[in-house]
Structure 1
Amino acid sequence: MKFKNKLSAILGASIVLMASACESFLDVNENPNNPEDAPISGLMTNSTYETALNVYRAGSATSNYVQYLASPNPSSGSDIMDQLDFSGTWFNLYNVMTDLNEIIRKSEESGANHYLGAGQILMALNLGMTVDLFGDVPFSESFNFETVTPAYDDDQILYDQVISLLDQGIANLQTESAISIGGDDFIFAGDIDSWIKFGNSLKARFLIHTKGSSSYDANEVLAAVSGGFTSNADDAQVTFFEQRFNPWAQVAINNENLLLGGWISEQFIEALDGTSYPVADPRLPLMVGTTDDGEFIGVPNGAGRGDAPEQGARSTLIPGQFYTSEQSPILIATYAELKFIEAEAALDSDPGRAYEAYLSGIEAHMDMLGVSEEEKAAYLADESVSMGAGSLTLDDIMKEKWVAMFLHPETWNDARRFDYGYKDMTLPANLNPNLNGNFIRRLAYPDSEVSRNGDNVPEVTLLDRIWWDQ
């Protein structure tokens, strides 16, 4: 059950505003907001809400790298994969994990096993996102307030902790709890079965990242898939309300007001308009806007909008669509994503299962967007889409997953695992010369962390790879 009651949402939003997240180790030794006294319910509200915003923040950081978005200005840092400062994203990830640490501690003390399980699942998600972006990060010394210069933990060891947290969370959700989760949960409104499916779906996500490692086990991925989402109704998402817009809606509104953002990459347009692939995709007009002339025209990454300086001469995110309505949800994890994970994991051992999962992923995303039955059937009837189990390739799966995960940070993990092998995805113009003609592989550690904890920050370049990206 999704959290859709407007009154509850507004009351929950008030809790978010009143019960601010505690400061992480990044700034101070002593927390001025006294998190020890924060009620577990308020911490859950803030953590579910801010986790969704962290998905947005990470997606905003990476959407140019995977060529969903492009800057209208030439040589923009995001487009050319320059070294940028993501101190705000880092701070927000750790702020949520600090609150989650409190939820876990308080839940263990009070026997609130359902809060404990949900907290562990959210901790796994936020920690996993942090590792996927930055590699080695502080964790084991991060939440005891005994040091402002915590040591960095190995990224592969942290991944083991992510999976362990998910397993613990699922197990705790399956036990009796002294306290019940309810409207303080912005994701599932206390629906424990949905939390269990969410935990399994995230486990499948993080396990598929390890596909190139010796520890990878496709059967383990498929077992997690079997316990995960079973339809779009299960999706993990946070729906927004009148007092707070979906942040992608705000990007679209800002763009209309000439605060330029949300311009669409030429790569994305041409992948869906029949240029790069044989069939035009009916999802395109439901995901992005046209030019003032009614055409879909993207911006080449790194090159800018060129000879089209006027607003309306290129496609952008526009208000009112599925991803950009004021009350649109932020999608944290979806059934469509899970079906593509299943397709990838099953491809070598069971092509028939992989093919059915691949088609189901396309249909799930089309249903989410509201594609008509006629348009959906026509798209799926094209032989370049419904090629048969014997002809399905990883390229086919990854292309459709790339479309279905629009604006989501998980796509950057896929792109790196796939070695940016999407058809016609080329390096941006004016590429950062320090990349030596290669795509970016990680974010740089933020300036705030270098200034506060510089002795512990690893020396890395944008080409150094996360442990699973070898």
Structure 2
Amino acid sequence: MKTMYTILGLMFFLALSSCENFLDVNENPNNPQDAPISGLMTNATYETSLNVQAIGSISSHYVQYLASPNPAGASDIMDASNYSGLWFDLFNVMTDLTDLMQKAEEEEASHYLGAGQILMALNLGMTVDVFGDVPYSEGFDFSSVTPVYDVDRALYSEVFNLLDQGLQNLTGETAVSLDNDDFIFNGDVSAWIKFANMLKARFMLHTKGTDAYNAQEILATIDNGMMSNEDDATVVFFEQRFNPWAQDAIDNENLLLGGWISTQFIEALDGTSYTTMDPRLSLMIGATDDGEYIGVTNGAGRGNAPEQGARSTLIPGQYYTSEQSPLLIATYAEQKFIEAEVALESDPERAYAAYLEGITAHMDMLEVSGDDKMAYLNNPEVSMGATSLTVADIMKEKWVALFLHPETWNDARRFDYGYKDMTLPENLNGNLNGQYIRRLAYPDNEVSRNGSNVPDVTLLDRIWWNE
């Protein structure tokens, strides 16, 4: 049923978008000038998931999930690439959400308003996390073609304000109820409330090490968050539009190279960097034609293995790469690792239980067999006990569980890229002076259009929470 509504909703919104993009000085009598909140919700939930994936496709090279098969690939070497498309997609969704929230207020549709505020918080937070200062206060009223840039820390306050307002609106009365136009939770308000609390914990964790950090507040927020994998925030794809990671895997089979796996990721799971063999490896990536798992060194390319099948890649049909696989926006597994990190200092027992539950949740997601799961969890290198658990242990398991997700780049920057055996890529961008990238460059079209307001930063300048 969800797939049916997904197809119908997208057909409606794509038709609407084609009308809106029809450039004519005369008014088109068939052009619906005022999109309803239902259509806006359909588009916003769907496009938000694609924004998550789009950032993940960039950052997966920075955190060494993926590697380019070609030497000195731009993402691998952390070059200053032009991400104008990503910028447009993020602001396009936030523009639609601005309209949605305005219409929801007018119609007293408090639950639509609450969901819209949560999605705005997520998209704004992701935009700040990768770019830093961005236009917001003048970004959506079209009062200026050269909107000012708001400070990243102030925008984080707005993220938390939006989440709090969203929670308040979701718990009140509404004149219009959410329905299947919501591609994430199919109108389940209780799931939206859990999701909002989970996101609040995620963004509060980013502030660790700053005066804004409050561990007890995060733990209290988590208590109202997700309770199991059933609460994961996902968008499921359909026959007319494949999951983008599935498309990468299919393209790779057809020699359109992409989705090659970093040596770093494989060696973290195959018993090289750690003594424990992780049973998730074969469920997340493909083996070579010889049945081995061999990665590509970031920045170096595939070297002396030019033939397809000589290196591991994303392959069709696995959990992350099936045509109708869900795109993961936020998961229970991620929330448990947030809890583990936050609780570690004050309550090691709670931290350890959350750490083990995070591993279990991810293994259950991938349908790891019971025997393999228990063998892994019973290994002393994994189950080291509450008194021996470290932040590094938590971050390693979270890195595995958030495969291909952009949140890992936030973790990596907070953790100073301190994953075991992670090294700078070969042929590193010389402007980085032997250091890891800390942000994306502002896109070329924004510099040319609004250059007087674009901050003068480099790839080494840190987002406020990472200073």
Structure 2 contact 121–163 (Cα < 8 Å) conserved: yes
SS in structure 2 at match of 1:127: helix
Partner residue, 2:452? 455
Indicate the percent of aligned positions where both proteins have the same amino acid: 71
Aligned ranges 1:125-136 → 2 under 5 Å:
125-136=122-133
SS in structure 2 at match of 1:332: strand
1:77 correspondence with 2:67: no
SS in structure 1 at match of 2:329: strand
Aligned ranges 1:365-444 → 2 under 5 Å:
365-444=362-441
Structure 1 contact 75–302 (Cα < 8 Å) conserved: yes
CA offsets, 1:193-240, max 9 Å, x none? Answer: 000000000000000000010110001111111111000000000000
CA distance in 1, matches of 2:136, 2:182: 25
Normalised to the residue count of structure 1, the TM-score between the two structures is 0.96
Shift of 1:65: 0.1
Partner residue, 1:290? 287
CA distance in 1, matches of 2:353, 2:230: 19
Letter in 2 for 1:463: L
1:247 correspondence with 2:244: yes
Letter in 2 for 1:158: L
Q: From the superposition, tell whether residues 301 and 417 of structure 1 become closer, same or farther in structure 2 (CA, over 3 Å).
A: same
Structure 1 contact 23–95 (Cα < 8 Å) conserved: no
Shift of 1:324: 0.2
Partner residue, 1:47? 44
Structure 1 contact 22–99 (Cα < 8 Å) conserved: no
CA distance in 2, matches of 1:130, 1:35: 30
Letter in 1 for 2:336: K
Partner residue, 2:151? 154
CA distance in 2, matches of 1:60, 1:34: 35
Shift of 1:18: 2.0
Structure 1 contact 134–442 (Cα < 8 Å) conserved: yes
Partner residue, 1:218? 215
Partner residue, 2:87? 90
Structure 2 contact 348–386 (Cα < 8 Å) conserved: yes
Partner residue, 2:229? 232
Shift of 1:6: 2.6
SS in structure 1 at match of 2:387: helix
CA distance in 1, matches of 2:428, 2:140: 38
CA distance in 1, matches of 2:343, 2:160: 20
1:119 correspondence with 2:116: yes
Partner residue, 1:359? 356
Aligned ranges 1:322-361 → 2 under 5 Å:
322-361=319-358
Shift of 1:15: 2.2
Q: From the superposition, tell whether residues 315 and 365 of structure 1 become closer, same or farther in structure 2 (CA, over 3 Å).
A: same
Q: Identify the match of residue 306 of structure 1 among 303, 306, 312.
A: 303
Shift of 1:274: 0.5
CA distance in 1, matches of 2:222, 2:88: 32
Give ranges in structure 1 of 5+ residues lacking alignment: 25-30
Structure 2 contact 3–237 (Cα < 8 Å) conserved: no
Aligned ranges 1:126-275 → 2 under 5 Å:
126-275=123-272
CA offsets, 1:112-146, max 9 Å, x none? Answer: 00000000000000000000000000000011111
Shift of 1:36: 6.2
Aligned ranges 1:12-91 → 2 under 5 Å:
12-20=9-17, 37-91=34-88
Shift of 1:13: 2.1
Q: From the superposition, tell whether residues 465 and 210 of structure 1 become closer, same or farther in structure 2 (CA, over 3 Å).
A: same
CA offsets, 1:131-180, max 9 Å, x none? Answer: 00000000000111111110000000000000110010011000010001
CA distance in 1, matches of 2:209, 2:81: 28
Shift of 1:61: 1.2
CA offsets, 1:70-100, max 9 Å, x none? Answer: 0000011100001000000000000000000
Letter in 2 for 1:324: T
SS in structure 2 at match of 1:198: helix
Letter in 2 for 1:266: T
Which stretch shifts more, 31-40 or 245-254?
31-40
Structure 1 contact 21–99 (Cα < 8 Å) conserved: no
Partner residue, 2:24? none
CA distance in 2, matches of 1:464, 1:401: 25
Shift of 1:21: 9.4
Structure 2 contact 441–459 (Cα < 8 Å) conserved: yes
Letter in 2 for 1:337: E
Which stretch shifts more, 220-229 or 394-403?
220-229
Shift of 1:5: 2.8
Structure 1 contact 15–45 (Cα < 8 Å) conserved: no
CA distance in 2, matches of 1:76, 1:235: 33
Shift of 1:349: 0.1
CA distance in 1, matches of 2:307, 2:317: 22
Shift of 1:22: 11
Partner residue, 1:28? none
CA distance in 2, matches of 1:426, 1:376: 29
